[in-house]
A and B are shown apart, each in its own frame.
Chain A
């Protein structure tokens, strides 16, 4: 846990000072929301409520791709990744620290992007803020582990910007199935169903365990 805490502290403090990832993710998210506004001329009609979950999660997934592509960039500078690989502990804790940091940054961007979406399309998301935050958190906890692992795998390749989405998007299908359904249930019924929460919890758990174990091999040269 000390390794997790150290990595989390380092990632958050370097992000606070550089703000390169959050700003990029946020600007991209806001631009997509504006694109939606122009692409959906009847955007403020009743249909938009039906499509809101899918539209939101498209924004979240692509914002996550932008952030995850940069997640290990700072570790390449000065070969800092070697410093992480040298720890005399299970390297899975390095993964856990990076994944938690990624999840927190993505969750922050999700909140701001959802607020912007609500404003642009005149949808009162604040009324369901708490259950929505729960579904967003569960979805994020599914994206972060597999995204962190694949980002670490892709970062040493020549085509990492292309490779990450090709590898990551198929792995996110089960997460998106649960997250979109859960978000729709919150907006329709006021809360997510047990089935969608269960799906997200199971997928999240599987991804965290697999990625924790697999990360040790990713750092090998």
Chain B
């Protein structure tokens, strides 16, 4: 078993309230290294909120989050411990446009206290095929290049847990295929991947389990082998239907199937 495969992320009864609004209402997550979890659901279901709590960016109103890492003497409780082994790539790239690609990675490497940030940055840039543009400012990158650099940034400290929020948004098909391949490789290296997406087809390429969130609750859970099957697609379609107001004049369900 690789070191990363010994990673485990357990969240119990997560609740997050923003004033009177309950964004998450008792969500459980339990996933180990070498597996990928897709978090699906309509807009406002609480997917991004869940991911930011798992990353340690936001604090749950109640509930418990534990990240166990290989080599750690004890399970890491608390948000600083959770952050140590987590790589996060959100809607935005978290990059500084004034810095070059290499400088962005070196900066984040220094923040995480890695031993050789320059060497690590060069290795990641080579892995992502960005070595030839390493000294170009990140602000001049295309959406696809920025997304690849953002994934490298999330991996700079070699985290066992990789959290991704809509990583395919804005990417063309070719860039999406390349990213999908990269994320499968991360999973197969033994990392724990949690992927928030609207795109069931893309999520199914990477994830081996899934949850469908609706109004902050887990409406459906798909275990390994069920992904891409009718039950999950139906659950996802139901969640989308439930999140939309009825269309005047349409008595039945209106939502098309999940995007392919």
Contacts and interface: CB of A to CB of B under 8 A. Distances in A.
Interface of A: 2-3, 5-7, 9-10, 13-14, 17-18, 74, 77-80, 82-90, 220-221
Nearest to A10: B107
A18 B98 contact: yes
Contacts of A88: 80-81, 83-84, 112-113, 157
Given A82-B57, A82-B90, A221-B58, A2 B110 contact: yes
B110 A86 contact: no
B21 to A, nearest CB: 14
Contact of A221 (B57, B81, B93): B57
A86 B99 contact: no
B98 A86 contact: no
B37 to A, nearest CB: 20
A193 to B, nearest CB: 42
A5 B84 contact: no
Nearest to B83: A88
Given A2-B113, A5-B110, A88-B112, A78 B99 contact: no
A218 to B, nearest CB: 13
Given A9-B107, A79-B91, A86 B83 contact: yes
Contacts of B94: 78-80, 82-83
A3 B91 CA distance: 25
Contacts of A84: 111
Contacts of B153: 83
A178 B113 CA distance: 39
Of all A-B residue pairs in the complex, the 3 with the closest CB atoms, nearest first, are: A88-B84, A79-B92, A6-B110
